């Protein structure tokens, strides 16, 4: 495989979801929670270090993550940038790019993560494109990680690439949200998650 071979990985799973009324990380695909599924896929990329960032529902989610470092984000309510900042701080001093995944994408595939790693040449970040958005999963260069430590709010990923041009791997299915009971019902009807 050309591209990125040595990398760290993080699963951002700290998000709470008041509109859904339950932790979406516990929704299942073929009997496997989205959290466990995302951790399994991240592990399969062969990272030098893997961590999971938890926040909301941490007591409920932590037992599902075995054999992986867990980092608690007490300010998870600030948005995904808070968890990304925590991960970056925990990995400071490491020189590897960071594969960033989130635990609420039922359409994430191992193939997509592989494509991100293969496309990485160190000259720019490699990100996922869905709809008009760029976001996770993404492979971030060490230079980008230095910027990520200062980003506020939920727009962290978009702000990382303002004025920059990351390489993008398109997978529109990753845009599917699981934020409301209607979103979940639609995903069940589509066969993306268990009912």
Summarised one tens digit per residue, pLDDT across range 152-165 is 766 567 778 776 78
Cα separation, 7 vs 101, in Å, equals 13
Contact 145, 91 (CB under 8 A): yes
Quick check: is 194 in a domain? no
Overall average pLDDT of the 28-42 stretch:
96
Quick check: is 137 in a domain? yes
Overall average pLDDT of the 31-36 stretch:
96
**Percentage of residues in the chain with pLDDT exceeding 90?**
68
Note down the domain range covering 111. Answer: 8-189
As for how many domains the chain has, the answer is 1
- Express each pLDDT in 77-125 by its tens digit: 988 888 999 999 999 888 899 999 999 999 999 999 999 999 999 999 9
Quick check: is 47 in a domain? yes
Q: What is the pLDDT of residue 165?
A: 85
Quick check: is 86 in a domain? yes
Contact 25, 35 (CB under 8 A): yes
Helices (H), 53-163: 58-61, 80-90, 110-119, 142-148, 156-160
**Percentage of residues in the chain with pLDDT exceeding 70?**
96
Overall average pLDDT of the 11-23 stretch:
86
Across 148-187, where does the E strand assignment appear? Answer: 167-170
Phi, psi of 136, rounded to the nearest 5 degrees: -75, 155
Quick check: is 17 in a domain? yes
Cα separation, 120 vs 140, in Å, equals 9
Where residue 1 falls among pLDDT bands split at 50, 70, 90? very low
Buried b or exposed e, range 66-82, using 16+ CB within 10 angstroms: eebeebebeebebbbbb
Quick check: is 64 in a domain? yes
pTM: 0.94
Quick check: is 2 in a domain? no
When mean pLDDT is compared across 14-18, 58-62, 108-112, the lowest value belongs to 14-18
Where residue 33 falls among pLDDT bands split at 50, 70, 90? very high
Quick check: is 3 in a domain? no
Q: Which residue has the higher pLDDT, 164 or 8?
A: 8
Instruction: For residue 93, give the CATH number of its domain.
Output: 3.90.550.10
* 35 pLDDT higher than 90: yes
Contact 56, 23 (CB under 8 A): yes
């Amino acid at each position: 495989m050309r591209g990125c071979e040595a990398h760290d990985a993080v699963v951002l799973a700290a998000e709470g979801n008041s509109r859904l009324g339950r932790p979406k990380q516990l929704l299942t695909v073929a009997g496997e929670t989205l959290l466990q599924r995302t951790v399994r896929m991240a592990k399969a990329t062969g990272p030098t270090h893997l961590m999971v960032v938890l926040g909301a529902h941490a007591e409920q989610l932590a037992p599902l993550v075995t054999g992986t470092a867990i980092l608690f984000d007490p300010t998870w309510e600030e948005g995904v940038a808070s968890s990304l900042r925590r991960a970056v701080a925990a990995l400071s001093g490491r020189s590897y790019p960071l594969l960033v995944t989130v635990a609420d994408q039922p359409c994430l595939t191992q193939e997509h993560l592989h494509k991100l790693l293969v496309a990485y040449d160190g000259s720019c970040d490699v990100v996922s494109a869905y709809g008009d958005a760029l976001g996770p999963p993404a492979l971030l260069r060490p230079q980008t990680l230095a910027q990520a430590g200062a980003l506020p709010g939920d727009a962290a990923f978009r702000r990382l690439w303002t004025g920059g041009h990351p390489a993008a791997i398109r997978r529109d299915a990753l845009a599917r949200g699981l934020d409301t009971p209607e979103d979940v019902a639609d995903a069940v009807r589509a066969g993306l998650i268990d009912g």
